Structure 1
Amino acid sequence: MTPSSVDASSPAVPAATRRLPGWLGWLLLVVALAAVVTGIGMRDPSPPDEPRFVLAARTMIETGQWLVPHRGSEIYAEKPPPFMWALALSYGVVRDWRVAFLLPSVLAALATLWLVFDLGRRLWSPRVGVYAAAALFACLQFGLQAKRAQIDMVLVALTTLAMWGLLRHLLRGPAWGALAVAGFAAGLGTVTKGVGFLPLLVLLPWLATSRFASPRVTAAAPVSRWRWGLLALGFLAGAAVWLGPLAVALLASNDPALPDYARHLLFRQTAVRYADSWHHVKPAWYYLEVIATMWLPLALLLPWLIVGWWQRLRGRERALWLLLGWVVLVLLFFSASPGKRGVYLFPALPALCLAAAPLLPALLERRGVQRVLAAWILLLSLLLGGLGAAGLAGAVPRLPEIVAERALDPATVASLLGWLLAMGAGGLLLGIVALARRRHAGPATLAFSAVLWFGMGLGIGPALDASGSARGLMSAVGARIGSDAELGLVAWREQQLLQADRAAVDFGFRRPWHEQWREAQSWVAGDPGRRWIFVLDEAMSPCADAAQAIPIGRANRRDWLLLPGTALRTGCVTPPLADETGEAGDPDGDDA
């Protein structure tokens, strides 16, 4: 086959790929399902982000206000509501927040794996699809996001669905239905988290490589070019899921808060945040560091992959031109913004795994690759196991400081260290297998990823739950003030309102602390004998009798106090406080 005749629709399938047992795809699906699902129902929402989104979803259910999310009494204008709708829908199905809050991420992770498999199957072969899904499952960032209730896993599922539809049409088409689905997924992704339009950038490398198309593919080009409007119509329909009701509400409502909400979300949190970010400012090369760490172990194979890609790109394999060209465009897009977070690049990972999949069967037969994967398993296992063993032996110098900072009890610490030791031991066994029987390095890598995610779901997450979710802290608050008391929150965090055992009153979240105190004092004056204030120790008002303040506990690396209403002096006005931020830390800088 000459280079000029090579097309993405007919790439060569390596012999090693054809020899792959057919049952391996089903085994991967079962392992991935078990690893991702494990841990659901065993912990509560924990920072970052999870309590905020669950609180907004719970408020939607309780108030019937679905269009504009709220964080307590304030409008939450940092993210659009579709992800909160998904959380609320999940709760409506299972009626248990401990289960419901992780369901959207779990389903999105499984959908992403299936889409990657199906696209690999359509572009190359079913066996390549298995390798693509396996590569994605093995990457650290995929597992970490699949087990968190953040927007990004859902965004990646929508992004991958859009790429699935676009590449089906562009490389295997015409497939007009798939093109419309791609547009809808991109539009819905855009109103889920801003950057959902990125899959549309794949049209640029497609146009740039149009001369690579074989006569058969050229003949399949659409005669009715108006049908390309299905992509735009699909995009508008997806975006209208939220923007449509918002536009109607803006036209019908006289509430000035609604235009302010739309303006802040559509402009400040999108264009301004991208062009002139006010936090998470990183250097231009930051995402190379993300690739080298969060995309392990696939990143370890990049020296071999780049050589293989170069050969195939020279052979004009159009599918690789589109996949790799799109990954580069996404990398450039995010690198151009001063504000950077590792999770922003996550939507490009499935495409990179797809591009790697045709090469992986042959690479996994090379001794150098096998040794690198075995070394990856052994090194990470030694790190985890060594940390667990050293902690149990009391040989970690900073461990007491970390334990005190996070207010972990001895039983929790012992459980965490025990799980680290167990994960490390399991990984060591797999690493030894990978060294002794090098042809099993690939399966051993997948098994090690499963060990990590089982350990996270069954051990690490539940052990950190009481402290991280503030469940333990708020349980202590409820026990201390009694069932008949009323609770107000000053300088609070979302997990505290979420975990309160009663309908707590807040006085704003972003508002400066002294303004929150002004409202709190007015509220307390209505019934000082029954009303209590829960407050961050740094935000204590000089109008309160400090001698009556009760240290109630430490959570999320901060100390918290309870103040009886009788401790507030009548007529006193709280002045602006030193180091006042209006919140207990950056409320939205850790958004996913």
Structure 2
Amino acid sequence: MPTTLPTTASPAPWRNALVGLLIALSLLAGLGLRQPNPADEPRFVLAARSMVESGQWLLPHRGSELYAEKPPVFMWLQAGAYQLTHDWTTAFLLPSLLAALAVLWLVRDLGRRLWHPRIGDLAALAVFSTLQFGLMAKRAHIDMVLLAMTTLSLWGLLRHLLLGPHWRAWWLGAFAAGVGTVTKGVGFLPLLVLLPWALHARLHGRAWPASRGDGWRWAATLPMFIAGTAVWLLPLALALWRSDDPSLQAYAREILLRQTATRYTAAWHHVQPAWYYLRVIALLWLPGSLLLPALFPGWWRRLRRGDARQWLLLGWSVLVLLFFSVSPGKRELYILPILPAACLAAAPLLAGLLRRPWPRRLLLGYVVFLAVAALVVAFGPWLPRDALRRDLDAGVVQQLKFGLIALGIGLGVIAAWARTRRAALGVVLATVVLWSVYGLVFAPALDASSSAAGLMQRVGQRIGPDAQLGMVAWREQNLLQADRPVTEFGFKADWATQWAKAGPWVAEQPTRRWLFVLREALPACVDRAQVVAIGQSNRNQWLLVPGTAWHAGCHATQEGTTAGADDNDD
């Protein structure tokens, strides 16, 4: 719901093309310049890499264990991208970036069909300008691909319900909802749009977009949805039917029951109050959330007039917000699917709203605030303090400072050029600069620390090229960034169980084998005089334990584990 250009007149085609090019370049900026960063990215790339290396694509693995927290669809896309690019630093981000561009196109096209070409442009620019959209487009998370699926589903369903009948679009929407469901369990949510449509039809006497003999077409909705889910569930069902492997049965129970229904009704992490998403909207949907108070009256007038477009877009958005608010487990990215619908609902009101001075002043103030904040952080005490806490070297600090200064100056120039009259366009350009600097400067500068690449490089140098490496209490980024094959002893197993396996392993060849260990997981009985403190990464201290430092009878007594719930890492 952020803002865009404040006029209703369509700009020249060359300007549309230029803005589109700038948006695409800003989202792609930095592609291939960083490694996967915690919390979620390394585990997905580990699973995708194991698919490519093993040729077994049905069951994702995290090291030696099955990874049963998420379906493999997103990992399939990453593995497929690697098959095309042969470069993991490019492939792991490519699905999210392409999904983000697809979302913008779908929003633009639907807005043009429902209202006017200019409204479609406004809606797409509104989505792009939202902070949360850019943050997720720059991350290799499942949620941007899920957003593309839910937006495609809404695109098809709304074309039928509002502009139809258009059965092929309707069936495509149902199919996309099915694919979205096996991408991440909530992909079925677009089908809830039937509820506000039914209520609108009842209150305003509007007929459904159907004709005599269309019963079989409506009946085909469920098969099309099931066909979408079958891209993963069918091969999984065949594997279960052909095999009685208990690990496969446990995998199916975990992902189909505990990670769906139980995760929603009795969440065991990320527990937040019911009003949590109001705070998310206020902060992560900036700058559009600044205009929400002015949008509500316009929405209310259109709802009272019976505007079916607003009934469906806003009604569905409220239903999804309530759906996620009811569950005790909440994360800010869960409500991302609402964003395109909310921007489409806001777009018809934006042009008129931005003719008023005060909304433009708010937007200009937002750009000025970002510029000032960047410069304050660059020259204030916070950057050196954070660098010390994260063990960043002076070169990285200088890169970050350069990036902040460049960002602050760039945003300041945009604010000075845009002033109040062109404040909305200034927001779009400021967003382009923000994500360009993030991709080209900030993310690469922090990469060695955030991805653990620097730490694992030091590990390889310290133990030498001929040594064998084992891991206890490890994180996914450590395994991913290791420079050699690694022996690990489980990810979800507690530390005592891992040590019970690691000790005999390292004792077999004590002069050649080393253990990479989280400091808190080190048993007291290990000869600490031989232990090497190898460094810090992701707010953890890591140690190297040579095989000669362990002796028979030394066992860990800690019952801790580094394995938390999915999406709850560093």
Q: Which bin holds the TM-score, normalised by the shorter protein?
A: over 0.9
CA contact (8 A) 1:69 1:77 kept: yes
CA contact (8 A) 1:212 1:318 kept: no
Q: Does 1:144 align with 2:135?
A: yes
Residue 399 of structure 1: how far off its partner (Å):
4.2
Find the aligned partners of 1:512 and 1:506 in 2 and give their Cα distance: 13
Residue 69 of structure 1: how far off its partner (Å):
1.0
Identity %: 54
* Secondary structure class of the residue paired with 1:157: helix
Deviations 1:5-45 (A, max 9, x none): xxxxxxxxx99424444444323321111011010010000
Q: Does 1:430 align with 2:414?
A: yes
* Secondary structure class of the residue paired with 1:535: strand
* One-letter code aligned to 2:564: D
Q: Does 1:292 align with 2:282?
A: yes
Q: Does 1:339 align with 2:329?
A: yes
CA contact (8 A) 1:386 1:421 kept: no
* One-letter code aligned to 1:433: W
- Please, which of 511, 527, 548 is the counterpart of residue 530 of structure 2? 548
- Please, which of 168, 180, 184 is the counterpart of residue 171 of structure 2? 180
Q: Does 1:29 align with 2:10?
A: no
Q: Does 1:17 align with 2:32?
A: no
Q: Does 1:243 align with 2:233?
A: yes
RMSD: 1.8
Residue 220 of structure 1: how far off its partner (Å):
5.2
Deviations 1:454-509 (A, max 9, x none): 01100110000000001001111111111111100000000110000001111000
CA shift in 2, pair 1:29/1:57, >3 Å? same
Find the aligned partners of 2:193 and 2:457 in 1 and give their Cα distance: 51
Q: Does 1:446 align with 2:454?
A: no
CA contact (8 A) 1:176 1:230 kept: no
- Please, which of 545, 555, 560 is the counterpart of residue 574 of structure 1? 555
* Secondary structure class of the residue paired with 1:339: coil
Find the aligned partners of 2:406 and 2:115 in 1 and give their Cα distance: 39
* Secondary structure class of the residue paired with 1:552: strand
Find the aligned partners of 2:209 and 2:333 in 1 and give their Cα distance: 40
* One-letter code aligned to 1:300: L
Partner residue, 2:470: 488
- Please, which of 478, 482, 493 is the counterpart of residue 500 of structure 1? 482
- Please, which of 100, 121, 124 is the counterpart of residue 133 of structure 1? 124
Normalising by the residue count of structure 1, what TM-score does the alignment of the two structures yield?
0.93
Residue 543 of structure 1: how far off its partner (Å):
3.5
Partner residue, 1:106: 97
Q: Does 1:382 align with 2:382?
A: no
* One-letter code aligned to 2:138: K
Partner residue, 2:390: 406
Find the aligned partners of 2:217 and 2:89 in 1 and give their Cα distance: 45
* Secondary structure class of the residue paired with 1:17: coil
CA contact (8 A) 1:510 1:582 kept: yes
Residue 221 of structure 1: how far off its partner (Å):
4.4
Question: How many residues are treated as equivalent by the alignment?
Answer: 566
Partner residue, 2:49: 58
* One-letter code aligned to 2:411: G
Q: Does 1:256 align with 2:238?
A: no
- Please, which of 267, 284, 305 is the counterpart of residue 277 of structure 1? 267
Segment of structure 1 superposing worse, 478-487 or 131-140:
478-487
Partner residue, 2:186: 195
CA contact (8 A) 1:51 1:498 kept: yes
Find the aligned partners of 2:249 and 2:303 in 1 and give their Cα distance: 49
Give unmatched runs, 5+ long, in structure 1. 1-13, 391-395
Partner residue, 2:305: 315
Deviations 1:513-537 (A, max 9, x none): 0110111112112222211101011
Give unmatched runs, 5+ long, in structure 2. none
* Secondary structure class of the residue paired with 1:508: coil
Find the aligned partners of 1:490 and 1:210 in 2 and give their Cα distance: 60
Find the aligned partners of 2:56 and 2:81 in 1 and give their Cα distance: 17
* One-letter code aligned to 2:533: P
CA shift in 2, pair 1:249/1:139, >3 Å? same
CA contact (8 A) 1:174 1:222 kept: no
* Secondary structure class of the residue paired with 2:8: helix
CA shift in 2, pair 1:15/1:154, >3 Å? closer
* One-letter code aligned to 1:179: W
CA contact (8 A) 2:383 2:397 kept: no
Partner residue, 1:163: 154
* Secondary structure class of the residue paired with 2:529: helix
Residue 381 of structure 1: how far off its partner (Å):
1.5
Find the aligned partners of 1:125 and 1:24 in 2 and give their Cα distance: 18
Find the aligned partners of 1:591 and 1:234 in 2 and give their Cα distance: 36
Partner residue, 2:110: 119
Q: Does 1:326 align with 2:304?
A: no
Find the aligned partners of 2:283 and 2:498 in 1 and give their Cα distance: 42
* Secondary structure class of the residue paired with 1:466: helix
- Please, which of 527, 532, 547 is the counterpart of residue 509 of structure 2? 527
Find the aligned partners of 1:502 and 1:229 in 2 and give their Cα distance: 54
CA contact (8 A) 2:161 2:208 kept: no
Residue 48 of structure 1: how far off its partner (Å):
1.5
CA contact (8 A) 2:165 2:209 kept: no
Find the aligned partners of 2:543 and 2:7 in 1 and give their Cα distance: 64
Q: Does 1:358 align with 2:316?
A: no
* Secondary structure class of the residue paired with 2:421: helix
* One-letter code aligned to 2:394: P
Partner residue, 2:358: 368
* Secondary structure class of the residue paired with 2:300: helix
Find the aligned partners of 1:348 and 1:551 in 2 and give their Cα distance: 46
* One-letter code aligned to 1:586: G
Find the aligned partners of 1:198 and 1:22 in 2 and give their Cα distance: 36
Segment of structure 1 superposing worse, 88-97 or 17-26:
17-26
CA contact (8 A) 1:120 1:128 kept: yes
* Secondary structure class of the residue paired with 1:554: strand
Residue 576 of structure 1: how far off its partner (Å):
2.3
Find the aligned partners of 2:290 and 2:211 in 1 and give their Cα distance: 39
CA contact (8 A) 1:53 1:84 kept: yes
- Please, which of 58, 63, 68 is the counterpart of residue 67 of structure 1? 58
Partner residue, 2:460: 478
Find the aligned partners of 1:405 and 1:162 in 2 and give their Cα distance: 45
